[in-house]
Amino acid sequence: ATSTRSAAPRVVELSYAAFLHLVADEPARISALRISLSRYSFMLDGAPAFARPVRAPMDVLNILIRSGVDFRAAATSAAAGLIPLVFPILWLAAIFSVLRKQLNGATGSVGKRATAKKLSSTELSFDDVAGIDSARDEVQEVVSMLREPERYAAAGARVPAGVLMVGPPGTGKTLLARVMAAQAEVPFFYCSGSDFVELFVGRGAARMRALFKEASATRPCVIFIDELDALGKQRSMRLGGQNDEVEQTLNQMLACMDGVDSSNNGIVVMGATNRYEILDPALTRPGRFDRLVRMELPDEEGRAAILRVHTRKLHLEPDVQLGRVAAAASGFSGAELAALANEAAIRCVRRKGERIGMDDFTSALVDFTSSRRRGIGGLVSKIVGS
């Protein structure tokens, strides 16, 4: 015996006009009406049927119904149904892309590269450093160790693992580090202590490891960390003593410098700070920073030497006496003296002169001093003399 299955009833689609006529004239033929935004499903004389509503103004629909015109909704494809979703999806995708780039910028690149900049060679020499003779001599000796390590190794000496330069702002710490790298003819990595301070815990330590790894590949070399106090502050001075991101980075630096010291692999770490008193003792001890170079404000003779360096390329009048300018510029740092020489040159151009005279230095010094709220009594007489 064979069994047969009854075919599923065919669903009939009515035009929207026919559906409206049925509702108005023969409502008894319609049952089980279910309404959605895009489809009206119902039973017509017991058989399934549906109609798709037409989105049009009611007055237009009324005219069409009264005129007996048959009309229905246009057929829609699956792709057309997705169009309203395209713009929200694109908007969410754009937000996600921006957030991902920001996160990758903060975390992804850290640890994959050193944060320091590898500076190209320069033409700087120790002749460009004046007013800090003692500090210059100490750094010059380290240069000699880097250029002729075998001479010191023969005597059992080793290159210092670190050189820490301490002094007020503008005394030439960064300049001396650049001169050291140029004269030693070795790669020079420059960074700031704040470059290692990251929002995410462990990222600063990863940057520190990456820096020393890159330096090891180019040894002998110099790593110069400016503003070391941003990184090397005493751990006991941190609020609550918590093991925060800066402390982890400092711990990593201590470990890296110990490795440098024990292997004596030609990496010299130079640091600069004007807040030596707040540095962690574990960082400043011999074995990490073997040599401490004090850099004070220059005396009168040093100021005159600095002015001679910064006026070498300037056209001066024969009567300019840099010694008198240096005597009047008491307490000036090297950076301030460089700015003073430049201001004198600007005043020469302002008055349409061809050579810089004493009046230009006098005007520049008075303005420079008064703008920094220092006493200027007797300043002019110090410059011009009696």
Give residue-wise pLDDT tens across range 230-275.
888 887 655 544 457 788 888 888 888 875 544 556 788 999 999 9
Average pLDDT, the chain: 81
Amino acid at 65: I
Q: What is the mean pLDDT of residues 106-122?
A: 50
- Alpha-carbon distance of 133 to 241, in angstroms, equals 40
**Secondary structure tally for the chain: helices H, strands E:** 15, 10
Evaluate whether 334 touches 306 at the Cβ level (below 8 Å): yes
Evaluate whether 112 touches 105 at the Cβ level (below 8 Å): no
H or E segment to which residue 273 belongs: strand 267-273
**pLDDT-based confidence at 375, cuts 50/70/90?**
low
With a cut of 50, say whether residue 107 has pLDDT above it: no
* C-alpha to C-alpha distances, 377 to 328, 336, 344, 370, 373, nearest whole angstrom: 11, 19, 20, 10, 12
Give strand ranges (E) for the chain. Answer: 12-14, 30-35, 40-44, 47-51, 117-119, 162-166, 188-192, 221-226, 267-273, 291-294
Please provide residue 43's backbone torsions phi and psi, each rounded to the nearest 5 degrees: -105, 130
* Of the candidates 214, 226, 201, 194, the residue with the CA atom closest to the CA atom of residue 256: 214
Angle at CA 172, nearest 5°, toward 171 and 175?
A: 170
Helix (H, G, I), strand (E, B), or coil: what is residue 56? coil
Q: What is the pLDDT of residue 57?
A: 85
Sorted by where each starts, the structural domains of the chain and their CATH numbers stand as 12-67 (3.30.720.210), 117-294 (3.40.50.300), 300-384 (1.10.8.60)
Q: Report DSSP letters for 336-378, one per residue.
A: HHHHHHHHHHHHHHHTT-SSB-HHHHHHHHHHHHHHTT---TT
Distance of CA 256 to the CA centre of its chain: 23
Q: What is the pLDDT of residue 111?
A: 41
* Of the candidates 54, 29, 24, 61, the residue with the CA atom closest to the CA atom of residue 42: 29
Q: What is the pLDDT of residue 112?
A: 43
pLDDT digits (tens, 9 = 90+) for 167-217: 999 998 988 888 887 888 888 888 888 888 765 566 788 888 888 888 888
**pLDDT-based confidence at 365, cuts 50/70/90?**
very high
Q: What is the mean pLDDT of residues 304-313?
A: 93
Q: Is 5 left (phi over 0), alpha (psi -120 to 50) or beta?
A: beta
H or E segment to which residue 257 belongs: helix 245-263
Helical axes 16-25 vs 58-67, angle rounded to 10° = 80
- Alpha-carbon distance of 126 to 175, in angstroms, equals 10
* Of the candidates 48, 1, 42, the residue with the CA atom closest to the CA atom of residue 20: 42
With a cut of 80, say whether residue 349 has pLDDT above it: yes
- Strands of the sheet containing 162-166, edge to edge, are 117-119, 188-192, 221-226, 267-273, 162-166, 291-294
Distance of CA 346 to the CA centre of its chain: 33
